[in-house]
Amino acid sequence: MEPTKDEITRAAGYFHEANQLLAQRFNYSLVAHSMALTAYATCIGFGSANNPIVAALVAFFGAYYSIVQFIITHPLSKRIDALRAAYLMKDDVYLVYKNAVGGNRPRGVQSVHVPFVLFFCWALLFVYALVASFRLGLPF
């Protein structure tokens, strides 16, 4: 059964709002990771001998937040994909817009790839901070 014009219009509204929410969550996440990275660099680069332990805690938080970012954004991205497939792909205007640049763009960059890359980076920084604390003879 084909969706009505009213259903497509409603779906386009949900689609727009969901895309805005995904962008806001992604931008907030990048700001949070940037602030954590600044804290990490400050702890590793300056100050007292206890700073590698604090840096390890910051890196642990960054890795944890990467997991939270995935948990929050991935279901939203799936909902966006469901709206697109069920309603918008049946709208001629949307198809013109979508096909103007050659069709599909890769999905999951914001909701899957970025959180996993950030998690991997934070895990490396955590290990680096642990190694730095062991070199200084700090108990961890």
Q: What is the pLDDT of residues 45-86, one digit of tens each?
A: 876 666 888 899 999 999 999 999 999 999 999 999 999 999
Token pair recorded at residue 68: 């939270």
Q: In the chain, what percentage of residues exceed pLDDT 70?
A: 92
Provide the 8-state DSSP code for 47.
S
Q: Which amino acid is at 61?
A: F
* Residue 81 vs residues 61, 86, 87, 136, 139: alpha-carbon distances, Å: 30, 9, 10, 50, 48
Condensed to tens digits (0 to 9), the pLDDT of residues 86-104 reads 999 999 998 888 888 776 6
Helix axes 5-45, 51-86, angle to 10 degrees: 170
Instruction: Give me the chain's average pLDDT, please.
Output: 89
- Closest by CA to 15, choosing from 79, 69, 71, 74, is 79
> Between 103 and 121, where is the model more confident?
121
Q: How far apart are CA 1 and CA 139, in angstroms?
A: 66
Q: In the chain, what percentage of residues exceed pLDDT 90?
A: 65
pTM listed for this prediction: 0.84
Token pair recorded at residue 14: 């949900």
- 116 pLDDT exceeds 60? yes
pLDDT band at 11 (very low <50, low <70, confident <90, very high): very high
- 105 pLDDT exceeds 80? no
pLDDT value of residue 121: 97
- 40 pLDDT exceeds 80? yes
